Structure 1
Amino acid sequence: MSIAAAGEPAPAGARKRPKNRKSQLALAAAEMFCERGYHGVSLDEIATAVGISGPAIYRHFPNKYAMLVHANRQLVEAVRAATDLSGRDDPRARLDELLAVLARLAVEHRRVAGLYQWEWRYLEPEHREEFLAELGTLAARLTAPLRELRPELSGRDAHALVRAALSVFGSLGTHRAAIARGRAEVILRRVAWAMLSEEPATPVLPATGHSEPEPVRGMTARREILLAESIKLFHRHGYHAVGVEDIGRAAGINASSVYRYFPGKADILAAAFYRATERVAETTAAALAGADGDADALERMVRSYVELTFERSALVSVYLAENNNLPEADRHELRKVQRLHVEEWVRLLVRLRSGLAVPEARVLVHAALNLATDLSRLVRSDRRSGMDQHLTRLMLTVLRA
């Protein structure tokens, strides 16, 4: 309400503050957080995007963190309201409608899906628990009709398949590949059904946060140790929460000694990204070199990517989550490399599926890659659990859906 509205009528031609200004600010903030990272956005930039002055934001939010919390709640509330189908009796119809709703929401909220994927990491414990509880409620809404349709599934197996389906919907927010809205909804819905129709995984151990360290090599041993410890810290706490002092302490040296090997923290992050691109290029080249035709090449690429996500889970996680914190020159270069890697998958998939359009192939490839990195975070990096084989099968199901 404007000041004039509290007393006398506002003068003719005076601008009225929109009733939904708080929601507008939260949406603008969410889009910018997802595009540039939570720490890469200032309150003044958010205000400018909405067309108000910086100080005017404080009429609605006390600080940027409050905007992050509100943006997450807006996303959660939209999903909660749209998926409340408790009155539907037929489990297949209810599940199909839920998948259709989630596909529509994935497209409508594509620009803010990063809140679900990565930016919620910056929530304080109480708000993080709130967010995860809502995610659990959503999973339960899908799990209940799925178990009615497939009574042979245990609750744990059904939840694992639902988690895979949710990863497919979330994948649309991890890229900006152009595709018609209606077509994207059809593809996401179809792939989600394919996930829910899959066989359950073998028993999976809970996540421990552990990942194998990078190997230490000869003359560059100290640099390699610094890089390996930095990757683990960035993965566990997020780039902005880690200081050079933390990195030095983890590597067993003084903070000042870190600068003998890297000019600054951003350069360590860039080195981690270049290391990740090297690993991806190496595994892809090895997979293609020994392939017997396109079908075999695709299976080999899937297996190699799954192996990489398990063996270097922290590195892959940082590679996906911290892109916005790279120095600008490195960011542009590495994004170009990432696009080229995706296009290699797309070309192979289109050759195998002659009727598949390139935009649709890109959506499938991104969904498959996101599935691997998303689900590998939920389990221990231990291939004896059998999760690697299950995940390979799920990725191939996505690409063939």
Structure 2
Amino acid sequence: MPATDLAPRKRPKNRKAQIALVAAELFCERGYHLVGIDEIAAAVGISGPAVYRHFPNKYAILVHATRELVTAALDAAREVPGDDPAEVLDAQLAALARFTVERRKVGALYQWEWRYLAEEHRTEFRADLATLDGRLVAPLRRLRPELSAGGAEFLVRAALSTFGSLTTHRAAAPKARAEATLHRLGWAMLRADAPPAAAIRSARGAAHLAAHAAEPPAHGLESRRELLLAAAIRLFHRLGYHAVGMEDIGAAAGINASSVYRYFPSKGDLLAAAYYRASDRLAASTATALRGATGPGDAVRRLVAAYVGFAFGESDLVSVYLAENNNLPEPDRHELRKVQRLHVEEWVRLLTQARPDLPATDARVLVHAAINLVTDLGRAVRFTGTGGVPAAVARLALVALHTFPES
């Protein structure tokens, strides 16, 4: 046997980063609570105890992985020296597009899994994201001095939402083409019209009102089943499925815990009920919107308007619908994922009819960008008025759908 075969194997210097990256991919694929230390170790090719040499527990891995992701994003959007704000923004968008494509498998840490962080780490995460926004807002306001601070932030969030959309699906997207498409989408958002500053302030104020309006009435006429479902949706959205117990749901609905099981045999049944409700309401609003459409272009506009109304009017339900797939009972999970895919394909079908020049693969990327833009901003502002922010979001979604990928 060669002497080299007897030499001890050296531990890689980047083992901690390797563990965090593999864990992040598993968290994003299956959900934080469904992944164990032994699975992470096996994917890295080490033993479970070896993981504990680097991290005291799974939560520490989540914190480290989230910090790594945000640090990399901040580095991609670092302030570029130069007097031309257009050149600065172009360099930042190109770097962020490349970062997004490279980190596609771990982007759900930004989208959903960060909900499982403790409040101190959530606060840290929000502060870092505000810094990220600010690095693009500053040159954007130099480029477009007519924008208010709120308007510039709104457009930057829209751009970042279109970038983040690539991490929400598995549709084929060759790296170079995906980078080019995201780069163009980012510029399309930053060049678009922002809602008036007054509308943005109204939207933020409405978030407080909407949150309180969502609390179940103490003496309403709703059935107990409806009260339980509404409470479950609200808690699943705010805390994540695994952080909520049946007792919590009963207490939030004002119903004795032992009575909850008369209406829903398990927490999984409650989650499935929320999904079927979302699917039914989305299908109904889509059918209503498309009825009477005069052509593919008109159909796309109607589809966008209907989705904006749905996402802004029922933001908690939409967030649960998009975030908790992995926690559904298996038969429901397969059925509902099929329904979600069919909804996206309806957008793709109509968009390619309206734009015959657009390949279906590119259309799918743009559709996901538009949908993610709407749901991201819908969660951020929770504004249910008929004008202002929702109208601006609908316009941005149409801009995204009509962005021309690089030929």
TM-score scaled by length of structure 2 = 0.92
Q: 1:33 aligns with which of 17, 27, 35?
A: 27
Question: How many residues are aligned here?
Answer: 391
Q: Do 2:268 and 2:328's aligned partners in 1 also have CA atoms closer than 8 Å?
A: yes
Q: 1:81 aligns with which of 75, 90, 96?
A: 75
Deviation at 1:152, TM superposition (A): 0.7
Q: Does 1:241 align with 2:235?
A: no
What letter corresponds to residue 21 of structure 1 in structure 2? R
Q: Do 2:315 and 2:382's aligned partners in 1 also have CA atoms closer than 8 Å?
A: no
What letter corresponds to residue 382 of structure 2 in structure 1? R
Deviation at 1:88, TM superposition (A): 2.7
Aligned to 1:398: 400
Deviation at 1:212, TM superposition (A): 5.2
Structure 1's unaligned 5+ residue stretches are 1-9
What letter corresponds to residue 57 of structure 1 in structure 2? V
Aligned to 1:303: 305
Aligned to 2:56: 62
What letter corresponds to residue 355 of structure 2 in structure 1? R
- Distance between the aligned counterparts of 2:376 and 2:70, measured in 1? 19
Aligned ranges 1:181-330 → 2 under 5 Å: 181-202=175-196, 203-204=199-200, 205-206=203-204, 207-208=207-208, 210=211, 221-330=223-332
- Distance between the aligned counterparts of 1:237 and 1:121, measured in 2? 6
Deviation at 1:214, TM superposition (A): 9.9
Q: 2:166 aligns with which of 172, 191, 213?
A: 172
Deviation at 1:213, TM superposition (A): 7.8
Q: Do 2:21 and 2:65's aligned partners in 1 also have CA atoms closer than 8 Å?
A: yes
Q: Do 2:383 and 2:390's aligned partners in 1 also have CA atoms closer than 8 Å?
A: no
Deviation at 1:13, TM superposition (A): 3.1
Deviation at 1:384, TM superposition (A): 5.3
Q: Do 2:140 and 2:152's aligned partners in 1 also have CA atoms closer than 8 Å?
A: yes
What letter corresponds to residue 305 of structure 2 in structure 1? R
Q: Do 1:270 and 1:326's aligned partners in 2 also have CA atoms closer than 8 Å?
A: yes
Q: Does 1:121 align with 2:115?
A: yes
Structure 2's unaligned 5+ residue stretches are none
- Distance between the aligned counterparts of 2:275 and 2:382, measured in 1? 23
- 1:224-279, CA deviations, whole angstroms, 9 ceiling, x for partnerless residues? 22111111111122111111011111222221211111110011001101111111
Tell me the SS of whatever aligns to 2:83: coil
Aligned to 2:377: 375
TM-score scaled by length of structure 1 = 0.93
Relative to structure 2, which stretch is displaced further, 179-188 or 200-209?
200-209
- Distance between the aligned counterparts of 1:249 and 1:140, measured in 2? 40
- Distance between the aligned counterparts of 2:332 and 2:280, measured in 1? 14
Deviation at 1:381, TM superposition (A): 3.0
Q: 1:107 aligns with which of 97, 101, 104?
A: 101
Tell me the SS of whatever aligns to 1:260: helix
- 1:50-92, CA deviations, whole angstroms, 9 ceiling, x for partnerless residues? 0111111110000011000110111122122232243233211
- Distance between the aligned counterparts of 1:235 and 1:130, measured in 2? 20
Indicate the percent of aligned positions where both proteins have the same amino acid. 62
Q: Do 2:313 and 2:382's aligned partners in 1 also have CA atoms closer than 8 Å?
A: no
- 1:368-392, CA deviations, whole angstroms, 9 ceiling, x for partnerless residues? 0011110011113331562111111
Q: 1:98 aligns with which of 80, 92, 100?
A: 92
Q: Do 2:77 and 2:136's aligned partners in 1 also have CA atoms closer than 8 Å?
A: no
- Distance between the aligned counterparts of 1:220 and 1:331, measured in 2? 28
Q: Does 1:14 align with 2:8?
A: yes
- Distance between the aligned counterparts of 1:175 and 1:58, measured in 2? 32
- Distance between the aligned counterparts of 2:312 and 2:323, measured in 1? 16
Q: Do 1:313 and 1:376's aligned partners in 2 also have CA atoms closer than 8 Å?
A: yes
Aligned to 2:356: 354
Q: Does 1:72 align with 2:66?
A: yes
- Distance between the aligned counterparts of 1:389 and 1:225, measured in 2? 31
CA RMSD of aligned residues (A): 2.0
What letter corresponds to residue 113 of structure 2 in structure 1? E
Q: Do 1:69 and 1:123's aligned partners in 2 also have CA atoms closer than 8 Å?
A: yes
